[in-house]
Structure 1
Amino acid sequence: MDGSAPTETPSWPEEPGRLAWTGRAAWADALARLVDVLEAARVTRLCWVTQDPLAWPWEQAELLERLAHWARPAGRQWLWLGGDYEPVRHGAPRLMRWRATWDHRVQCLAVDEPRQLDGRECLLAQGLGLIERLPGPQVQGRVSTDPRELVLIARWFDAVSQRATVTFPVTTVGI
């Protein structure tokens, strides 16, 4: 025995169905814990739906490092469904660098009309759970592991993504 403390199996942030966080720092912490759960559960597919990607705390270096650790094994895929990706190019340099490295794992899809996203701001870990940013002026969110809700959101995501267009290349080619 090396004297180190036993490692805990990561668990979802807070109790599912209840308010899981309030404030940006708590949200970033909840996402970091979620990524740890993804790794432990060997989740291979993430579905991120956002109309405002800059509102998510993906610019935090520690969070992107954990996400890179999750993305490393073969077969991992992050599907990103949104509207206008251009603000990310200029407003999220760390996320852009991360995405350039992991472009083979990330597919960005754009909808024609933002209303197609039904106002959703969520990250779905296929078969495991959902973390959702709640609408409103405060940064608040909830977690769900309800199998029925996960199936409904996954079906909705698949239906909308089938009508979306692959977009947002890491580099642009110009003449």
Structure 2
Amino acid sequence: MDGSEPTEADAWPQAPGRLNWTGREAWADAVARLVDGLEAARVTRLCWITQDPLSWPWEQAELLERLARWARPAGRQWLWLGTDFEPVRHGAPRLMRWRATWDHRVQCLAVEEARLLEGRECLLAQGLGLIERVPGPQVQGRICTDPRELVLNARWIDAVSQRATVTFPVTTIGI
């Protein structure tokens, strides 16, 4: 995306259903479209589930700026579930700077039992939609806006988060 305002054609799909995407550019576009729709849909909770955080397009400055606009109002939360957060410290400097600023909105939870994530890579904006990457060597996945499926995914995320522990502080303090 070029940083310009999204057009109606670029908007997040409003009708329930699924759209498939293939390729890194299409994936980055899907993530950007979801982030662009957060404010209009009044989404207060964003859930990111990843075992491969560096594969996501969070190093795009304009995407992080739009995410910051969403995070600004009180009551917004980004829940981040994963198995290994350390690659982000050195491999995603923009995301780390963004996170340092918005740490009060971001909760990182470590899932000790990787099997609980079942190879899932997804971003859920509750009430708006889900972007899910299909495991495998190809960069492909789907967009889902089906309200029933969004509720099922939100319940699954809540169940997994109950078995996870808070982790990945912005700064580490040595004694």
Give TM-score, length-normalised by structure 2: 0.90
Alignment of 1:47-126 (within 5 A): 47-126=47-126
Partner of 2:19: 18
- What is the aligned-residue RMSD (CA, Å)? 1.8
Give TM-score, length-normalised by structure 1: 0.90
Q: CA deviation at 1:142?
A: 0.8
Contact 2:13–2:145 (8 Å) recurs in 1: no
Q: Give the number of equivalent residue pairs.
A: 168
Matched residue type, 1:147: P
Provide closer, same or farther for how the CA distance between residues 25 and 31 of structure 1 changes in structure 2, counting only shifts above 3 A: same
- Give the whole-Å Cα distance in 1 for the aligned partners of 2:44 and 2:68: 13
Report which stretch shifted further, 21-30 or 64-73: 21-30
Instruction: Report which of the two structures shows the higher radius of gyration computed on alpha carbons.
Output: 1
- Give the whole-Å Cα distance in 2 for the aligned partners of 1:101 and 1:159: 28
Unaligned runs of 5+ in 1: 1-6
Secondary structure of the structure 2 residue equivalent to 1:39: coil
Contact 2:34–2:129 (8 Å) recurs in 1: no
- Give the whole-Å Cα distance in 2 for the aligned partners of 1:119 and 1:61: 27
Structure 1 segments, 4+ long, off by >6 Å, are: none
- Give the whole-Å Cα distance in 2 for the aligned partners of 1:156 and 1:34: 20
Q: CA deviation at 1:11?
A: 2.8
Tell me the percent identity.
Answer: 84
Q: Deviations over 1:120-170 (max 9, x none)?
A: 100111122111111121111211111221111111100110110000000
Secondary structure of the structure 2 residue equivalent to 1:154: helix
Q: CA deviation at 1:39?
A: 1.4
